[in-house]
Amino acid sequence: MKLYYSPGACSLSPHIVLRELDLPVELEVVDLTNKMTASGIDFTTINPKGYVPALQLDDGEVLTEGAAIVQYLADKHAPGTLAPVSGTVERARLNGHLNFIAAEVHKVFQPLFGPTLSPEARAAVLADLGRKLGVIDEEISDGRPYLTGPNFTVADAYLFVMLSWAIDLGVDIARWPRLDALRQRIVARDAVRDALAAEGLS
């Protein structure tokens, strides 16, 4: 398999999952500005959407969208471990978390990465992000190690990337003690540390 990624982008989530599953994978960096891969290929010929992640399977099939990729990897290579078995209430809850992170949290960041956002608009976006992170914090029961329960899942990998972005933007995650504790547990995992190191991230 080959994972097309950009350091610290949302492609970090499937990268973490690949390492959690101890799967062999080739990594190829994508320059998201000019849409070129490190080997000189026009990335839009691999993923016409033009953004990472994209996972090329051994048969040449290409999967896109991080939430879909991580579920595929979990279901294919370790059913019932990094994601509950399909068709269960537990899986529906996991999907709810993935959908909320993708549709409500992830999309909030887009204007924050732009160069022209006014201070007033930035403050409004950060307030919206804070509300959504607060919702997740409230959903984490006291004493529950991870987002959906006692075990690390693909939803934790995705949430970790969002929390990392928030910290990079100056958001004080300590405002949400359960989220902050969750992030610290995730970053202590060997697979997460290995993925960060491979992408040149601290």
All structural domains of the chain: 2-80+191-198 (3.40.30.10), 89-189 (1.20.1050.10)
Q: Torsion angle, CA of 34/104/111/179, rounded to 10 degrees?
A: -100
* The pLDDT value given to residue 116: 85
Run of H or E residues at 5: strand 2-5
* The pLDDT value given to residue 142: 73
Q: Is the pTM of this model over 0.85?
A: yes
Report the C-alpha gap between 92 and 56 in whole angstroms: 27
Q: Which pLDDT tens digit goes with each residue over 144-183?
A: 899 999 999 999 999 999 999 999 999 999 999 999 999 9
Q: Are strands 26-31 and 36-37 parallel, antiparallel or unpaired?
A: antiparallel
* The pLDDT value given to residue 143: 76
Q: Which pLDDT tens digit goes with each residue over 44-96?
A: 999 999 999 999 999 999 999 999 999 999 999 999 999 999 999 999 999 99
